[in-house]
Amino acid sequence: MKLLMFYTPSFWYKTFQKSLPQAPDVDVDVEVNNCILVLVQVEAEDIDKRKKVTDKLLKNLKWLAGKFESKRVVLHFFSHLSESRSSPEFAREVLEDASKRLISSGYEVHLTPFGYFCEMKLHIGGESLAKVFKSF
């Protein structure tokens, strides 16, 4: 799994175009402030260690959210951080599981529409920890 995480004082996204034909039709336009944006690359080798990588995903984003005293998270499937890719279905399951677990821990979670390219505007904080890459 690869994570590119940002602390964003303001983040906006809107559905633009389907990237997976089987994705349901949705049209969203969302703004989230004081959040952690996590671009997640689920890799083929993550299939055999699903619980471990999901736990590490949660641990890393909770750690970063804590540094900025935020309980808001945006999860976005991003298949451009590695050549290794899991199936879209597996990646969606991992993100949905992570989202449910975060919500049960008191986080506000936004999961960008899976199977869509989105327009985005983000303001990234200037602090060193406002930009973090993790690989596991």
Query: What's the CA angle centered on 81, arms 25 and 112, to 5 degrees?
Result: 25
Task: Please state, in angstroms and as integers, the Cα–Cα distance from residue 101 to each residue in 52, 59, 61, 106, following that order.
Answer: 14, 11, 12, 9
Place of tokens 């175009």: 17
Give the per-residue pLDDT at 72: 98
Give the per-residue pLDDT at 136: 95
- pLDDT tens for the chain, 136 residues long, are 999 999 999 999 999 999 999 999 999 999 999 999 999 999 999 999 999 999 999 999 999 999 999 999 999 999 889 999 999 999 999 999 999 999 999 999 999 999 999 999 999 999 999 999 999 9
Largest Cα separation within the chain, whole Å, is 39
Task: Answer whether 100's CB lies under 8 Å from 61's CB.
Answer: no
Closest by Cα among 7, 67, 74 to 39: 74
Q: Is 1 helix (H, G, I), strand (E, B) or coil?
A: coil
Give the per-residue pLDDT at 14: 98
Structural domains present in the chain? 2-135 (3.50.80.10)
Q: Residues, the chain, total?
A: 136
Q: Is 72 helix (H, G, I), strand (E, B) or coil?
A: strand
Give the per-residue pLDDT at 131: 98
Give the per-residue pLDDT at 49: 97
Residue 111 β-bridge partners: 75
Q: Which tokens is 80 given?
A: 């451009």
